[in-house]
Every structure is written in C-alpha cells, then in structure tokens.
Amino acid sequence: MQTFGYGIEDVPTLADRYLKAYPDPDYRHRVEAACLLTHEQPDLEPLEAVIRCKNNSIKTVLVSVTAIHHNYTSASRAIMTKR
C-alpha cells in the first residue's frame, strides 16, 4: 500500500485497506466480491480497480491473482497509465 501513500499504521488490517482504498461502500463491496472470486479462481482475467490514495488522488490499477501452493495466492497490482 506504500505505492498509494499508506503506511502500515494507516492500514493495519485488510479491512482497513479496503476502507481507505475504496471509500464508497457500494464500490468497495463490488471490489471485495470480485477479489474474493479471483482468489477462489486465480486464473481469471485481471481485475481493474480504482484506488483512492492517501493524498486523495485516484489511481487505476489491474489486480492479478496467482495460485502459488494449495490455498495460498499472491495478488499483484499494476498501475495503469495512458498509452
């Protein structure tokens, strides 16, 4: 979350990260549901998400989930830029 300006003291839990990154409750619930689905089916297409940074700027990212071993997954985020 440092990429978005947050330190561990700002977002100590996953729930805190969702609250800060996705302040709109409806959007946050949609992102949470989509992330849960990608964790259950890690071979899905990357998820595009709009994240609110600590300085209130907005970044659009692609979130990819990769299965590593048994029940473990890894999520990566790539910031999208204009081409």
Burial class (CB in 10 A: 0-12, 13-18, 19+), 4: buried
pLDDT at res. 6: 93
26-35, 47-56, 64-73: range with lowest mean pLDDT: 64-73
CA end-to-end distance (rounded Å), the chain: 24
pTM value? 0.74
pLDDT at res. 67: 63
18-27, 46-55, 61-70: range with lowest mean pLDDT: 61-70
pLDDT at res. 14: 84
Which neighbouring-strand residues pair with 22? none
User: Which residue from 40, 6, 38 is spatially nearest to 22, judged by alpha carbons?
Assistant: 6
Mean pLDDT over 29-52 rounds to 80
